[in-house]
Amino acid sequence: MKSNRPPVIAIDGPSASGKGTVAQEVARALKFHHLDSGALYRLVALATIEAGIDLESELRVYNITLNIKASFHSGATWLGTRDVTDSIRTEAVSAAASKVAALPKVREALLGRQRAFRQPPGLVADGRDMGSVVFPDAALKVFLTATPEERAQRRYKQLMEKGMSANMALLLQDIHERDARDSVRAVAPLQKCADAVEIDTTAMTVAEAVSKVLAQYAQALRAP
Q: For 195-220, write each residue's pLDDT tens digit.
A: 999 999 999 999 999 999 999 999 99
Q: What residues does each domain of the chain span?
A: 8-217
Cβ neighbours of residue 176 closer than 8 Å, sequence gap 6 or more: 148
pTM to 2 decimals? 0.88
CA distance 39 to 142: 19
pLDDT digit string (tens) for 66-116?
A: 999 988 877 789 999 999 999 998 888 988 998 998 899 999 999 999 999
Q: From the centroid of its chain, how far is CA 93?
A: 14
For the structural domain made of 8-217, what CATH number should be given? 3.40.50.300
Facing residues of 123 across strands?
A: 8, 33
Helix (H) / strand (E) element for 140: namely strand 140-145
Give the number of residues written for the chain.
224
